[in-house]
Amino acid sequence: MKDIVRGWRHIPQRYSLIGSKCSQCGTVFFPKRVICPECRRKGELEDLKLKGEGKIHTYSVIHTPTDEFKTIAPYVVAIIELEEGAKLTSQIVDCNPEDVEIGDEVEMVFRKIKEEGDDGVISYGYKFKLKNC
């Protein structure tokens, strides 16, 4: 039950990529923050809906996953640098791992993240795909 409650609390970040932008220094963060770690100003952050487009900063191909992800291996996990400047970690989907390169342009897509418990509660959220696929 605790995971379900946590899932509901994270819906804005998983469904819309809502981040924060510091009105003092202009730095953009994801997920949202309450204090800017760059200039340490409290209360100067505003919500920012990120476009969900960016480039692969770095990546890794997972060949030996945990039991939960064995059916999709091998798969790519990347650090994405969004157009707004924030970085986040995401799975790269809808491509062959050998097609992924640093610097590739990507866009956010909405996908199933996992299925939990005996009731089969499905969690959805963002992943990214290559723009040229």
What domains can be seen in the chain, in order of their start residue? 52-130 (2.40.50)
pLDDT of residue 37: 85
Q: In 3-state terms, what secondary structure has residue 75?
A: strand
Q: With bands split at pLDDT 50, 70 and 90, how would you rate the model's confidence at 91? A: very high
Q: Comparing 110 with 41, which gets the higher pLDDT?
A: 110
Judge contact between 60 and 84, C-beta under 8 A. no
Q: With bands split at pLDDT 50, 70 and 90, how would you rate the model's confidence at 109? A: very high
Q: What are phi and psi of 13, to 5 degrees?
A: -75, -35
Q: Does pLDDT of 85 surpass 70?
A: yes
pLDDT of residue 5: 53
Which candidate, 36, 35, 32, places its Cα nearest to that of 49? 32
Q: Comparing 64 with 118, which gets the higher pLDDT?
A: 64
- Averaged over 3-31, what is the pLDDT? 76
